[in-house]
């Protein structure tokens, strides 16, 4: 079995690794660290949660321990798609560079430019940034990239999803051609492959798992949910989520709940809090300080449920997340792998549960095609003995129709019958002149001859005098007509 001491890392880095409690490298670390230490370009393909961050952080710390940074000219650059992932990478550098004198700067949105500029002016060995904020500093003349020796692109497929590829290509043009490039991604879309062919020089390719596969330590499941009515779908779905959480019992220590839309993140978080669950939202519209505080509370155990958009699907290295709930089936199949990758990390067991509505059929099929397996179906905890969900009407049977009657808590359906006249049979023999239809015509004729208020008064009188058949005085006249009359009208 390979150990970190076999990977030719510096003694100070090995000491820091030992203090973190890790003893053996993951497959991506074992494959990427030796060629990175040799100065070669590396193309790493591995699912989320396999230790990609340490795979480039450890060799960088070892190599950058020799040398000195100059003002406004960072010696290395790490590009991340989101603020959360960038902050996570910065934490890794703090942990592994504990015994090495390296300076770093974190360039992300939501933080003042002045503070970031002061760090750059002093000179940094490691610059960790999101593409947009990095280019903002460059265009202001506060940053030079001509001293970059090592460039890392982390979660490249997420960069593609977020539209950062043009920015990445521009940044590649600003760093020296002789740089070393470490490129990591969970999937290899054609656009990502084009970039690697363009900007990497004879890279060592390390692929430790089939593209976009879920970890074997994660138990997956999907609940197929059918709302009783369209206007009740959202509330019934939130009720189902609460039932799923309660059904997990003591096995659930904490959980991340993913929604596709930011507005749903807020609504679900408020709903959970209203029903006594310790939950808070996190998405891109929140202030950075609030996002950091929420994440820290979740890491520390002060917060049990984190309701998130896909901004949190990648880069959250929280080893002890027991559950992931997909409140929505993700629109991009790859996001499913990254979402559930928040649990079952570092060899731990995890559970991922998804709620799928009938409209999610195509997206669910795409997820199952991507992971190469059918996600196991699990029972709806709200189902009653008869098979109908609480708050849900059973599906209509062929040839049946709904009635307003209830029997044992279920809606009763009766076979459809041929449309019959609304009046008794005796009335069918009424002479044509006596039929309500002709009475109405006569009434309209009289009303047309009357003028002013007399018209309305005559109409009301005539309406009151006409016999109502079936449901009482409140029944509109058109319902009292037979099917044949309605067709003739």
pLDDT score recorded for residue 76: 96
For the cut 80, the answer to whether the pLDDT of residue 465 exceeds it is no
pLDDT score recorded for residue 5: 87
Q: Give the mean model confidence (pLDDT) for residues 423-448.
A: 49
Q: Specify the DSSP element, H or E, that contains 444.
A: helix 436-449
pLDDT score recorded for residue 242: 96
For the ranges 97-101, 258-262, 326-330, 480-484, the lowest mean pLDDT is seen at 480-484
Residues 6+ apart with CB under 8 A from 263: none
Residues 6+ apart with CB under 8 A from 253: 304, 320, 322
Residues 6+ apart with CB under 8 A from 28: 44, 46, 50, 51, 52, 55, 206, 208
Closest to 329 in 3D by CA, of 275, 379, 383, 259: 259
Structure tokens at 358: 């009938």
Q: How big is the chain, counted in residues?
A: 489
Closest to 161 in 3D by CA, of 132, 119, 191: 191
Greatest Cα-to-Cα distance within the chain, rounded to the nearest angstrom = 110
CB atoms within 10 A of CB 122: 11
**Token match 């890794």: residue?**
92
Report how far residue 19's alpha carbon sits from residue 4's, in angstroms, rounded to the nearest whole number: 13
> What is the band of 385 on the pLDDT scale with cuts at 50, 70, 90?
very low
pLDDT score recorded for residue 57: 95
How far from chain centre, in Å, is Cα 107?
Answer: 25
pLDDT score recorded for residue 427: 43
CA angle 181/183/186 to nearest 5° reads: 175
Report how far residue 371's alpha carbon sits from residue 330's, in angstroms, rounded to the nearest whole number: 14
397 to 231, 317, 379, 401, 412: CA distances (angstroms): 22, 49, 22, 8, 11
434 to 407, 426, 442, 480, 483: CA distances (angstroms): 41, 13, 11, 15, 18
Which CATH architecture is the domain 4-207 placed in?
A: 3-Layer(aba) Sandwich (3.40)
For the cut 80, the answer to whether the pLDDT of residue 212 exceeds it is no
Structure tokens at 293: 């505080």
Q: Please, are residues 43 and 156 in contact by the beta-carbon 8 Å criterion? A: no
Report how far residue 113's alpha carbon sits from residue 142's, in angstroms, rounded to the nearest whole number: 10
For the ranges 117-131, 274-288, 313-327, the lowest mean pLDDT is seen at 313-327
| Whole-prediction pTM | 0.62
Which CATH fold would you assign to the domain 218-371? Rossmann fold (3.40.50)
Where in the chain do CATH 3.40.50.300 domains reside? 4-207, 218-371
Average pLDDT, the chain: 81
Closest to 178 in 3D by CA, of 78, 35, 32, 41: 41
SS3 category, 353: strand
Report pLDDT digits (tens) over 304-345. 999 998 765 555 667 789 999 999 999 888 789 888 988 887
CB atoms within 10 A of CB 313: 27
């Amino acid at each position: 079995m390979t150990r970190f001491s076999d990977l030719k890392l510096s003694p100070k880095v090995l000491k820091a690794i030992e203090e973190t409690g890790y003893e053996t490298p993951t497959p991506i670390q074992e494959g990427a660290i030796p060629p990175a230490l040799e100065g070669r370009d590396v193309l790493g393909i591995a699912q989320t949660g396999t230790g990609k961050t340490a795979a480039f952080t450890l060799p960088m710390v070892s190599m950058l321990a020799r040398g000195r940074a100059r003002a406004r000219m960072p010696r290395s650059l790490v590009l991340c798609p989101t603020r959360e992932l960038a902050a996570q990478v910065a934490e890794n550098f703090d942990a592994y560079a504990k015994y090495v004198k390296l300076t770093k700067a974190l360039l992300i949105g939501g933080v003042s430019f002045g503070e970031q500029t002061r760090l750059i002016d002093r000179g940094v060995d490691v610059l960790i940034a999101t593409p947009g904020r990095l280019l903002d500093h460059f265009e202001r003349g506060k940053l030079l990239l001509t001293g970059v020796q090592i460039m890392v692109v982390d979660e490249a497929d997420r960069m593609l999803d977020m539209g950062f590829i043009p920015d990445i290509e521009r940044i590649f043009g600003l760093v020296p051609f002789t740089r070393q490039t470490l490129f990591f991604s969970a999937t290899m879309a054609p656009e990502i492959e084009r970039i690697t062919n363009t900007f990497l020089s004879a890279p060592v390719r390390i692929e430790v798992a089939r593209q976009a596969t879920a970890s074997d330590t994660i138990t997956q499941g999907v609940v197929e949910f059918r709302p009783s009515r369209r206007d009740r779908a959202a509330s019934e779905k939130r009720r189902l989520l609460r039932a799923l959480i309660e059904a997990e019992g003591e096995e659930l220590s904490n959980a991340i709940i993913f929604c596709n839309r930011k507005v749903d993140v807020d609504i679900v978080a408020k709903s959970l809090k209203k029903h006594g669950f310790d939950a808070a939202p996190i998405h891109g519209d929140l202030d950075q300080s609030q996002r950091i505080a929420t994440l820290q509370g979740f890491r520390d155990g002060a917060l049990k449920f984190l309701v998130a958009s896909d901004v949190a699907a990648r880069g959250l290295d929280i080893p002890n997340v027991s559950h992931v709930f997909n409140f929505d089936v993700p629109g991009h199949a790859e996001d499913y792998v990254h979402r559930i990758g928040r649990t079952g990390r570092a060899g731990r067991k995890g559970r991922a549960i998804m709620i799928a509505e009938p409209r999610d059929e195509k997206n669910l099929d795409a997820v199952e095609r991507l992971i190469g397996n059918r996600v196991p179906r699990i029972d709806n905890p709200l189902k009653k003995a008869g098979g109908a969900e609480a708050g849900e009407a059973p599906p209509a049977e062929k040839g049946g129709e709904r009635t307003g009657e209830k029997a044992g808590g279920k809606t009763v359906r009766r076979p459809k019958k041929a449309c019959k006249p609304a009046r008794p049979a005796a009335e069918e023999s009424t002479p044509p002149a006596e039929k309500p239809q002709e009475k109405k015509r006569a009434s309209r004729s009289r009303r047309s001859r009357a003028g002013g208020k007399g018209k309305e008064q005559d109409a009301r009188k005539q309406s009151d005098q006409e016999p109502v058949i079936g449901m009482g005085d409140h029944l509109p006249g058109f319902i009292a007509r037979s099917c044949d009359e309605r067709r003739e009208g």
